[in-house]
Structure 1
């Protein structure tokens, strides 16, 4: 392990092996579907969120069907996986998922990025949630 790797570990930003969007037992520990509420306030008010632990960050998007593949390609460049959930009228509901250690700054940056991407593609960013392993199994992302 090099010096840069050790520094990333100390900073708590390195993705820890083992956690994936499909890890059994993930529970929603924080969520925001109200753009007027700051991400820092959402995270601070969540007693279940473990700040130093990795989380699966899930952005909920509504996209035109003909732009889903484009969105997936753009998001994949930064390690996001776009998962289609199903139709919603003339749009497709999808979730952008990625494992990361979550903090208010990065959460706000990603929310802004998702909103911009969705808007450019003719869709909407509906909100986000963060999932971490819990004590009882729940459905994956």
Structure 2
């Protein structure tokens, strides 16, 4: 408790706040890295990324195809790890698209772990993980904020 009080006092005195969290609904987000190839390592995808600011948060999105009647359960499970579905109407198709997203700082190790986790989640629900992409604010100045 004392550490929290001291931290709060320090911030009030010196006016330093952490960066504002990245809002996944921002309209200026652009894809800065992606991979839809199962054989491509996340490290390779991030190495070829353009406009990617590795020290800044991204909106990491996983593109899945899941039977429409299982979307709710898949979203519940993914929510335990901080994922939320992107607004997208569920169609009556046997395999309906589902995009799960969360905000995080992205590196190759964590990208690979999350990609594997999503592939397993999709497979357990008779679906597929097609790939992932990462979004950050467009423009070089905006990507740093």
Please classify the TM superposition score into its range, dividing by the shorter chain length: 0.7 to 0.9
Q: Which runs of 5+ in 1 are unaligned?
A: 6-14, 136-141
Residues 58, 128 of structure 1: 8 Å contact kept: yes
Deviant stretches of 4+, over 2 Å: 15-18, 83-89
The structure with more radius of gyration: 2
Match of residue 123 from structure 2: 119
Deviation at 1:88, TM superposition (A): 7.4
For the aligned residue pairs, the C-alpha RMSD in angstroms reads 2.2
CA distance in 2, matches of 1:45, 1:83: 26
Corresponding pairs, count: 125
Residues 30, 42 of structure 1: 8 Å contact kept: yes
Deviation at 1:47, TM superposition (A): 2.8
Match of residue 73 from structure 2: 70
Deviations 1:114-136 (A, max 9, x none): 0000000000000000000003x
Q: Residues 22-37 of structure 1 correspond to what in structure 2 (within 5 A)? A: 22-37=25-40
- Counting helix residues as a fraction of each chain, which structure ranks higher? 2
- Counting strand residues as a fraction of each chain, which structure ranks higher? 1
TM-score of the pair, normalised by structure 1: 0.81
